[in-house]
Amino acid sequence: MEIETLPPPPRSTANPAPKRPANSVRRTTSIDVSWPDGIEGQRLFVGAARDVVTPADGGAPRLVAEGSYRARLKEDKTITEISADLEPEGLSKLVGARAGGHLRMLLGEVMPDLIAQTHPLYLVLDDLSGSALVSAFAWSQWYPDWAEKLRQRIGEEEHAKLMTQRVNVCWGLQEGHSGLQPGGPPSNVADADAGDVRNPEDPHGWHALPEHEGPGFRRARRIDVVRDEAAGVIRIDSAFQDSASKPDGGRIAIHEYLLRATADIDTLEVLSIEPEARILPFSECPGAIANTQRLVGRKLPDIRAEVLAQLRGPEGCTHLNDALRALADVPELVAELAA
């Protein structure tokens, strides 16, 4: 099948994060993945999350909630160890589970209280699945023949199975799109600098991020929430980025979205959704943005279920869906602000 010639995918980061708005609440989360025992060893996942309120004068924030965990996963994404500073009830039941769609269902079964509290730790536990799927990309920045080594290690049959499973998993990987062509998409697309999420003019803007040597992956999120009493709306400004470390000390971005939205203060009805593609792997990927308008008119607390119903598989982008699903916690975040 002949592939339509499309413009290259967007490749410009929005980092660093803006300074915290006055009288706002900010959630930041991160998952950092490393391989302390080498490429054939288990992956170490370090998740961290924090909610803070910034006062009207824009000064130092007030801590609302925070949490962190450490987990080890085998190559097949099976969780072999996990511990957290909060040790929420049910955490030990995640051992033996695989980080995929079923893990999210298991989280709902074994730690409903954490979800009901909309604690930020839940978001980085939920993000284990997406991070486990994408994080192996980090090795490609350190070893040019990484893809061939992976094929040899898992075998041609298993590799072919993995490639087949990718078809129609999301908008960008629909049958016939460039990301599924033999040899992959065009290789003349320049690497995208991930920048640094931390703003040097706002030292309190992010929680502490771990540093380590060697190949590494990071999923970083930010959600800023403001009450606009004059307009009667909640204003949401969020960002989502997957990135990998490089031998020269920089970072390459894999996926990056900005997402702005408004919702009615009283009814929590979504009034507008404005995703912005900043960095995506394939030319077709930005096409997923249009379908997000199906969520306008839905209620914020229902967004997780609505995203699953409205934007499943090739109807949406898995990374944009993750950014959208996180909006379900906004009502609890905005409750921290003075009416």
Cα–Cα distance between 26 and 197 in angstroms, integer?
14
Pairing between β-strand 24-34 and β-strand 270-279 as defined by DSSP bridges: unpaired
The phi and psi torsions of 220 (rounded to 5 degrees) equal: -125, 135
Kindly list the averaged pLDDT for each block of 10 residues, start to end, along the chain of length 339: 64 96 97 93 97 94 96 95 92 95 91 91 95 91 78 62 68 82 60 96 96 94 97 98 95 96 98 96 91 98 95 93 96 87
pLDDT of residue 39: 83
Residue at 87 is within a domain = yes
Residue at 321 is within a domain = yes
Q: Count CA atoms closer than 13 A to 236's CA, side-chain side.
A: 34
Cα–Cα distance between 303 and 63 in angstroms, integer?
26
31: which DSSP letter?
E
- Measuring CA to CA, which residue among 242, 223, 55 is closest to residue 141? 242
CB of 67 within 8 A of CB of 121? Answer: yes
CB of 66 within 8 A of CB of 86? Answer: no
CB of 241 within 8 A of CB of 13? Answer: yes
111: which DSSP letter?
-
Residue at 19 is within a domain = no
Residue at 5 is within a domain = no
Residue at 322 is within a domain = yes
Over the Cα atoms of the chain, what is R_g? 20
Domain count, the chain: 1
Classify 15 as helix, strand or coil.
Answer: coil
Cα–Cα distance between 194 and 119 in angstroms, integer?
27
Q: 């209280």: which residue's tokens?
A: 113
Provide the domain limits for residue 31.
24-334
Residue at 12 is within a domain = no
Residue at 46 is within a domain = yes
pLDDT of residue 283: 87
pLDDT of residue 4: 55
Cα–Cα distance between 177 and 221 in angstroms, integer?
28
pLDDT of residue 175: 81
pLDDT of residue 178: 77
Residue at 17 is within a domain = no
